Structure formats: structure tokens, C-alpha cells
Structure 1
């Protein structure tokens, strides 16, 4: 199972994560003192990574990269697919190789799979709560610094689509931009005049919609609107641009908001608040 994610350097991520755990560059660092002192250098283990929860799987190829970084000859079998929903007790990965390498890489591999599978699992729950509305779930930029590409990958495994990846691939005009520009229309006009093709404009009142559209907004973010107001906004936009409901949305409210006719619903908690999945790794000496 390969892992090629545009904008993400897997080798650099694995190297930096292992160096952090090993204390590379710190006095006395650069080693796993427990494994190196307790486990013979030629000892071999087999291991099984399994889920203790029902989860949506994400991150197994990265876990494999951690083990192979320390033992290039590690034998690895993937027992589940990325994006697959599996019940508790499912075996995800089988390993066979150098025991020290397995023990040293174990926590980095598990942390990554637990975090990404937790995001994918929460995302799938939100997708299912939207029912048959036809609305599309989006993530946000509320990600842990340094992990954005991985976390947004995990939301895709859960069934969401990615919102803009960063500050570079779309303009998003929010209240503070409007505060400086003077009004919504002027803020949108400035972005368009600068040659920005994709201009997302946040509006929190019905009377801001028409000025934003007239100025050239290509996407409206309907912020913190209740269900009746969202329906009114969707009717006013009348399909001229995509619409997005955002703000304070959880599993109890997303179904009703998705059913208003908006194109998208965005949820920050997918990456901001997803709990880690309960995943373990058990070893057997060979």
C-alpha cells in the first residue's frame, strides 16, 4: 500500500517524528535506552496492530513507513484498507522483523494511526448524520500545526471533501477583512481586483448576500445562521454560487442544516476535537 500525498513529505515526517522521540541532538539522546538495553540486537518479533474500537481506518501506510525506517527488511501485511469502516477487534496490520526496530517505532506509528483514524471516524459519523440531503461535508483550517496535510487526508478517508488547504489557494473574506475594507462588497471587489479567482465570502446577515454576489464572490459562507435563515439565504442565492453553512455545527444540528439546501456544511471539530481511536499493537517473540 503506497502513500503519495501532494504537499506532504512522508520521509521527512517519519524522520522528524522518530528523531523527536529518540532525542536526536539532545545530551544523551539519539537512542532508545530501553529497547537497546533490554532487547538483543538480533531478536525478532511478529506483531499485530488491531482496533479496540469500531473505526474508520486512516494512516496505515505511514505506520508502515515508521517501521521500515528502522528496519528496511520489515515484512508488513496490510489487513485493512484506508477509509474502510471496521468493527472492534479488527486486525489492521501484521509485522515481522527486528524487535528493537518495532519497539522503537511503535509509539510513533500508533500515535499517527490513532489520531488519523479518530478524525476519519468522527468525519464518517458527521457524513452519516447528514442523511440523504446531498450536502457535502467540508473540513476547515483548524488543524494541528504541521499536520494539516495528514489531517485533511483523514477527513477525506471519512467521506468529507477538503476546504481550502491554506491561505494561498482561495481568498476567504471574514469579518475582520470587512472591518478594514468598510463593507462586504468592497472587500470582495478588492480581492477580485487583485486577480484572485476563488473568493469565498463569509456573511452573517441576509442583507450582505446581494452585495457580496454583485461584487463577484464565488462562494458564500453562511456563518452562524439558524435553519430558517439558512433556507432564506439559499433561496436568495438561487444557485448562483455554492453556499456553505458554518459555525457551531455538531452531530445534533448538522442534519437539519444540511437539509436546508446548502451546497456544503463545514465543521471545524473534525480536525480540532476528534478523539484518538483506541488501537493497539501486540508483539510475539520469534
Structure 2
């Protein structure tokens, strides 16, 4: 996370804060305040940014990541070098607002699905450079992370196995290359593809763009040794319809690609 924050600081400050000369030698205290109720995420960020800017300011969180917080609540207090605190203000707010928005949306999804068995997953639909922050925020909201990138699990979509010739051939080829250490997930859209994925003994089968009744029917055909995931076309409006289908996971791209930032402000005391 620190290397990413260094890049963000460079983007924002460039050769230096042009107004910092006004603040030389001044110290201050300020408060981060949540203006819209929700789930908080990113409480470690002010301290990390201060550390990279000179380590001459501190942040004392008043609440923890993952907590449900009412509007008007102070999230924490910053104190120290005024130039450092104000230089970090916008970067920390940008990240904390986005992360808290993602955490809040995730918690809403978990509560809406209301299924003790099916767990909410995120996707790779994250803003470039922000994946670690986005996926951490999902965990703060009670969701789980799907793969971090293309490197930690193989996912076969129709474009992949069409290039090889068949789903069965694609799985066999990947097993030969990857061995047993890496999981293979296969996206299926038809019953024929479902049967092929089961026969190939993949690790995870994704039911792509299927209605709840179809998911429930297909789930009964999948052996317990294979996990299942629901994905595609799911919104907050139809999310609860998928409760009780028996799938292990349900992935939601909108958690990280249609983010409504939580309103957080910073004011000097």
C-alpha cells in the first residue's frame, strides 16, 4: 500500500505544495467527520500519508474500520505540522470517502441477500491503481475478495475455451500447465456447459446471467466437491431473489465500479 500512496502523493504534490510557505512552523488540530451515515473504511490512511510526508503529524482514530457510524460522528483527530496535515487532506479524504462508500454498499448487499450460506464477493472491476483499497473496503463491509488479479486463479470464460476448441480441452490443458496448486473456475451459460464443467472436475463453476430458479436447479446437479458462484445481471433490486439458491458465492461488480462516495469532511479545530 505504501508504494501506491507514494505515487498518489507525487501526483497531488508534484514538486511541492505552493501554499505550504504560509504554514511554516505552524501546528494544528483537526477532525475528520462523517457527514453521511455508513460503514467506515480507510482509518489507517491519514497516519500512513503523514508518515510519507515527513512523519511530523499524527492521527488518532475514534472508530474502527467496519463500524457502522452515524452522520455527524468524528472519525478521528489529526494533530501536528499544519503543512503536512493540509497537504494530506484531499488525498486522505478521496480514498476514505471511496472506501467507505464501497464498504457501505457491501454491507447493504450482505444484509439484502440475507443468506447465511451464500457469501458476497467483489470482482476485478476496480479503478486502476485502487484495487487494494477497493478490495480492503469490501472486506470492511462484510464481503469477501475474489481473485486479486489474473495471477492467483484461472477463470475460463467462453472466449478462452472457444480459442482452444472446447471447455473440456481448455480445462485439461490448464491442469497440465498449472498443476493442482491453482484453482480453475469456469463460467457456464448453458446446461451443456454445466455438464462439461462438472465432468472436468473444475474447482468453481460460475452460473453466469441465470435466473434464481435456474441457479437453484443447476446447484442441485453440482457435486459438493465443486464450489459455485452466481454472477451477472444482479442489482440491489433483485439481489434477495438469489437467497436460498444454495450457491457458495455471489459476485457483484457494482460494489467497486459504481461507487457512491460517503461524505467525509475535514475541519481544523
TM-score range, shorter chain: over 0.9
Report if the CA contact (8 A) 1:63-1:112 is conserved: no
**2-structure distance, mates of 1:68, 1:221:** 43
Report if the CA contact (8 A) 2:50-2:56 is conserved: no
TM-score by length of 2: 0.95
Report if the CA contact (8 A) 1:63-1:113 is conserved: no
Tell me how far 1:251 sits from its aligned partner: 0.9
Note the aligned Cα RMSD (angstroms): 1.4
Q: Deviations over 1:131-180 (max 9, x none)?
A: 13421011111111121112111101111111111111111000101211
Q: Which moved more, 1:61-70 or 1:114-123?
A: 61-70
Aligned to 2:107: 124
Aligned to 1:17: 8
**1-structure distance, mates of 2:250, 2:115:** 14
Note if 1:261 corresponds to 2:246.
yes
**1-structure distance, mates of 2:91, 2:167:** 46
Q: Which moved more, 1:156-165 or 1:208-217?
A: 208-217
TM-score by length of 1: 0.89
Report if the CA contact (8 A) 1:222-1:246 is conserved: yes
Note if 1:52 corresponds to 2:35.
yes
Aligned to 1:3: none
Report if the CA contact (8 A) 2:56-2:84 is conserved: no
**2-structure distance, mates of 1:166, 1:96:** 38
Aligned match for 1:73, one of 37, 48, 56 = 56
Aligned to 1:5: none
Tell me how far 1:59 sits from its aligned partner: 0.8
Q: Secondary structure at the match of 2:19?
A: helix
May I ask how many residue pairs the two structures share in their alignment?
267
Q: Secondary structure at the match of 1:33?
A: coil
Matches within 5 A, 1:143-182: 143-182=126-165
Tell me which stretches of 4 or more aligned residues in structure 1 moved more than 3 Å: none
Aligned to 1:106: 89
**2-structure distance, mates of 1:232, 1:181:** 29
Gaps of 5+ in 2: none
Report if the CA contact (8 A) 2:57-2:78 is conserved: yes
**1-structure distance, mates of 2:123, 2:260:** 17
Tell me how far 1:204 sits from its aligned partner: 0.6
